[in-house]
């Protein structure tokens, strides 16, 4: 089995990735540089992500809103660190029709200032808190080079913005939402992720603390898959947001924000897919089953219909390929699309009242009695989900190295890349040196299991924490 439309993963990983995106009908390029077209199959994956996350957000009390897509320049300027972080990549609107605007307007690169501007108006009492808002929208960041899902100028995402009475509450919210992302990626995307804190150098412009979900791709490169920020009172003070507490005293609230993007789809692809095409975890796949009648004959189609009814009853999504393409074509296409289980139904199966099941992750084929089919499918879906997770975890573990000597960092510069887990003194000088010498950026400081067991790998002085370094997308 082979697919000559897809570049081999181990030959050219970058080309392989874009091949998968195109061949599996996930995206297309548009005439607008850096803005990708997400096609129905790609968008269906996003819709599944949205529906799971949106439900989780709402269960935790968040409500969806829709903010403007434009920000007047003066509003963006209010928080210094924030604006300095984003100005290099904002898109500006300078004209309305033929007339030049008196004040430039920026297309939102993120919506902190819009939310703060609004919060100032609606918060006056402790009774107004907490405010738990979220919005699904697109933002614009003028990236210089772009790649489908991983880096585009227009970004489809979700951004949560919350305000709290106390620091403690806001810190809890920050970690609670980080956990939502972690659980989602582990349970639904079958992606093992590192959870941790960003260094000061890497944190969000305007945040006190930035927490991150870091995943390792098949080629050993790190992908930041979601972030959650604790803002403290920085924005609130800059925007003069205040409320009266129970004792009639004016207080400044504490703030968080958190977000994830369609980049997660890129992460899914680069974690699980292979040389035959996409591989999707059952929990997020738009179609869990692909049914392939070998011939379009009545006795076969009867079994297809019978199966459809059973799958409907179990709420298992499926797609039937009843085109008159050859069987081989249909098999190959099902593999390109990454449907977790393929059911082949042909004469040879029906002779014995059986169907053939093929799992996408291992390509293992099995003949199953028609009546046992549904139970086997349910079991396989769970098996596949677990197998994908374990496979990815094993790969990450095999590419994660506990390093103690500076020169050993070189070992990450091979084709397989990987993460270095090292002791660090906490100084940005060492962080910068590692980046300059090896091109490795700090990924995250793990939240638990963080026991220092040696001096700083760079300066040999006393280390204050363990930290992961790696190449990043």
Kindly tell me which residue out of 158, 162, 271, 333 binds RNA, with binding defined by CB under 7 A. Answer: 333
Does the protein bind RNA through residue 40 (CB under 7 A)? Answer: no
Instruction: For residue 134, state whether it binds RNA (rule: CB under 7 A).
Output: no
414 binds RNA (CB under 7 A): no
Q: Does 295 bind RNA (CB under 7 A)?
A: yes
Which residue's CB is nearer to RNA, number 64 or number 356?
A: 356
Say if residues 461 and 425 touch (Cβ distance below 8 Å).
Answer: yes
Contacts with RNA in 241-260 (CB under 7 A)?
259
Any residues with CB less than 8 A from the CB of 422 and at least 6 apart, and which?
Answer: 402, 403, 404, 409, 457, 466, 467, 468, 469
| Interface positions, 82-101, toward RNA (CB under 7 A) | 88-89
Distance CA 356, CA 349 (A): 7
410 contributes a contact to RNA by CB under 7 A: no
Q: How many residues does the chain have?
A: 473
Site string for RNA, 353-392 (x = CB under 7 A): ---x-x----x-x---------------------------
In the bound state with RNA, the residue whose beta carbon lies nearer, of 75 and 90, is: 90
Q: Mark residue 123 as left, alpha or beta (left: phi above 0; alpha: psi -120 to 50; beta: remaining).
A: beta
* Closest to 410 in 3D by CA, of 432, 434, 375: 434
CA distances from 274 to 203, 282, 417 (A): 33, 16, 18
The residue from 182, 274, 344, 431 that contacts RNA (CB under 7 A) is 344
Closer residue to RNA in complex, CB, 71/123: 71
How much of the chain is helix, strand and coil, in % rounded to 5? 40, 30, 35
How far lies 108's CA from each of 98, 229, 275, in Å? 22, 18, 38
Q: Which of 150, 289, 368, 403 is the binder for RNA (CB under 7 A)?
A: 150
329 binds RNA (CB under 7 A): yes
Residue number, 123 or 197, with CB nearest to RNA: 197
Helix H or strand E segment including 133: strand 131-140
Phi-psi region of 222 (alpha: psi -120 to 50; beta: other; left: phi over 0): beta
CB of 148 to RNA, least distance (A): 6
Q: Which two tokens stand for residue 281?
A: 């975890």
Residue from 79, 209, 349, 431 in contact with RNA (CB under 7 A): 349
List C-alpha distances in Å: 317 to 27, 56, 320, 381.
22, 22, 10, 12
Q: Does 14 contact RNA by CB under 7 A?
A: yes
CB of 168 to RNA, least distance (A): 26
Of the candidates 15, 55, 353, 461, which one interacts with RNA according to CB under 7 A?
Answer: 15
Residues that bind RNA (CB under 7 A): 1-5, 13-15, 17-18, 29, 31, 33-34, 88-89, 141, 143-148, 150-153, 155, 204, 212, 224-225, 227, 259, 261-263, 276, 294-296, 324-329, 331-333, 335-336, 344-350, 356, 358, 363, 365, 439, 472-473
């Amino acid at each position: 089995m082979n697919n000559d439309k897809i570049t081999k993963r181990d030959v050219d990983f970058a080309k392989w990735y874009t091949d998968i995106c195109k061949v599996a009908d996930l995206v297309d390029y548009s005439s607008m540089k850096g803005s990708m077209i997400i096609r129905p199959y790609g968008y269906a994956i996003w819709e599944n992500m949205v529906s799971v996350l949106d439900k989780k957000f709402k269960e935790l009390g968040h409500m969806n809103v829709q903010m403007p897509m434009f920000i007047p320049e003066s509003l963006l300027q209010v928080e210094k660190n924030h604006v300095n972080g984003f100005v290099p990549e904002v898109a500006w609107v300078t004209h309305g029709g033929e007339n030049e605007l008196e004040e430039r307007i920026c297309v939102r690169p993120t919506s902190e200032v819009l939310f703060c501007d609004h919060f100032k108006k609606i918060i006056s009492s402790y009774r107004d808190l907490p405010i738990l808002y979220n919005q699904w929208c697109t933002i614009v960041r003028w990236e210089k080079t772009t790649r489908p899902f991983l880096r585009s100028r227009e970004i489809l995402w979700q951004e949560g913005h919350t305000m709290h009475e106390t620091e403690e509450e806001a810190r809890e919210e920050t970690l609670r939402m980080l956990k939502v992302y972690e659980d989602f990626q582990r349970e639904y995307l079958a992606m093992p992720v590192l959870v941790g804190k960003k260094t000061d150098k890497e944190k969000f412009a305007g945040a006190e603390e930035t927490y991150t979900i870091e995943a390792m791709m098949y080629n050993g490169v790190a992908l930041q898959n979601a972030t959650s920020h604790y803002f403290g009172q920085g924005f609130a003070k800059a925007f003069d947001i205040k409320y009266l507490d129970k004792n009639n005293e004016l207080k400044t609230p504490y703030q968080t924000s958190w977000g994830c993007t369609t980049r997660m789809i890129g992460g899914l692809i680069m974690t699980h897919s292979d040389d035959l095409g996409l591989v999707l975890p059952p929990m997020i796949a738009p179609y869990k089953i692909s049914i392939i009648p070998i011939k379009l004959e009545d006795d076969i189609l009867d079994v297809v219909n019978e199966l459809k009814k059973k799958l409907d009853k179990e709420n298992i999504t499926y797609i039937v390929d009843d085109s008159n393409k050859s069987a081989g074509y249909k098999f190959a296409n099902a593999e390109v699309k990454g449907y977790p289980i393929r059911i082949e139904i042909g004469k040879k199966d029906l002779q014995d009242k059986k169907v053939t099941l093929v799992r996408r992750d291992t390509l293992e084929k099995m003949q199953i009695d028609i009546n046992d089919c549904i139970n086997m499918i349910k079991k396989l879906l769970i098996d596949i989900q677990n197998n994908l997770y374990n496979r990815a975890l094993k790969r990450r573990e095999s590419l994660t190295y506990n390093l103690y000597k500076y020169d050993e960092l070189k070992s990450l510069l091979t084709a397989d890349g990987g993460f270095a887990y090292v002791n660090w003194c906490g100084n940005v000088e060492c962080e910068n040196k590692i980046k300059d010498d090896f091109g490795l950026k700090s990924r995250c400081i793990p939240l638990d299991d963080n026991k220092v067991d040696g001096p700083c790998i760079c300066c040999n002085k006393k280390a204050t924490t363990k930290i992961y370094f790696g190449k990043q997308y």
